[in-house]
Amino acid sequence: MPPRDLGGVISSAFAIYRKNAGRLVLLVAVVVVPLSLLSFLITYFAFAPAHKTVVTTPTSSTLVVQPRSGLAGLFAALIAIAIGAITSAILQAAVIRAAAQATVGDPVDVQASYRWALRRFPSVLLVSIMVAVLVTIGFALLVIPGIILLVLLAVSIPAVVVENAKGTQALARSWHLTKGHFWHVFGVGLVALLIVGVVTGILSSLGDSHLVARLVLQIVGQILVGPFSALVTVLLYFDLRARVELLTPDRLRTELAAPN
C-alpha cells in the first residue's frame, strides 16, 4: 500500500465513501438516530418547567412557570454524557473497522463491525478518555500544546481497533507513527475538519429556528459526516504505517480478522 499525500487521502476517502455509502450510512444511523432522540428527550424533560400555573386577577391573567431544580438538570446532563461516551466509543470502533474493510476493498459487514466494536469497546473508551484529558490539558496550556498533542495522538483509536493496542500502548503507537509527519497529519486533519464543518453548517442553517427541523438535520449531518471522518482517519493511519513500515492489504486483512 503506497503512501498518499494530503489530496490522495481526501480523494480516496470520497471515492471509498461513494462506493460503500449505503452500508456506512446504515452503520452510523443504527446508533446515531436512537442516541440523538434519547439525548434530546432527557435534556427536554430535565429542563422543562416543573409546574405551570395561571394566576388570575380581576384585570389580567399571568402564567407563572416554576423551573425544575438545578440538580435535575445536572443529573440529566451526566446521564446524557455517560450514554454518549459509551455509545460513541462503540460507534467509533465499528465505523473505523468498517472503514478499514472498505479501504482494503472488502465488503462492509455491519453486524461483524459491531461485534468487533463490542470486543474493543473497553480499550476504545479508555483511550478516548486518555486522549481527551491530555488534549484538554494541552489546550489549557496556551492552546499550542493541545494542537500538538491532538496531531500526535490522531491515530490512537485506529491503533486500538486494528492492532488491538491497549491504553498507553495505543498512545505510544500513534506518537510513533505521526512523529516526523506532523504537518502532513495536521494538514489532512484540518482539511477534513473544514469539509465536515461546511456540511454540518449548511444543514444547521436549513433548520432555522424550528426545534424539530434542527434535531432532524443535526441527526442527518452526523450520519453523513461520520463515515467520511472515519475514512479520513483510517486512511491517514494506513498512510502513516505505509511510510514507516511495510504494509500490505493481506497484512491488514489478517489484523482485521484477529479474534482478540
- Residues with Cβ < 8 Å from 99, sequence gap 6 or more? 16, 24, 227, 230, 231, 233, 234
Task: Answer positive or negative: Cα dihedral of 222, 127, 97, 242.
Answer: positive
**Three-class HEC string of the chain:** CCCCCHHHHHHHHHHHHHHHHHHHHHHHHHHHHHHHHHHHHHHHHHHCCCEEEEEECCCCEEEEEECCCHHHHHHHHHHHHHHHHHHHHHHHHHHHHHHHHHHCCCCCCHHHHHHHHHHHHHHHHHHHHHHHHHHHHHHHCCCHHHHHHHHHCCCHHHHHHHHCCCCHHHHHHHHHHHCCCHHHHHHHHHHHHHHHHHHHHHHHHHHCCCHHHHHHHHHHHHHHHHHHHHHHHHHHHHHHHHHHCCCCHHHHHHHHCCCC
10-residue mean pLDDT series, the chain (260 residues): 87 90 87 78 63 56 55 67 77 86 84 87 90 91 89 93 90 94 94 90 74 78 87 91 85 76
Which pTM was predicted?
Answer: 0.81
Q: What pLDDT score does 218 carry?
A: 80
Q: What pLDDT score does 127 carry?
A: 92
Residue closest to 98 by CA, chosen among 117, 79, 113: 113
Q: What pLDDT score does 76 carry?
A: 65
Beta-carbon count within 10 A of 221 CB:
20
Q: For residue 83, give the amino acid letter.
A: I
Show me where the domains of the chain are located: 6-256
Q: What pLDDT score does 63 carry?
A: 52
* CA dist., res. 237 & res. 113, Å (int): 18
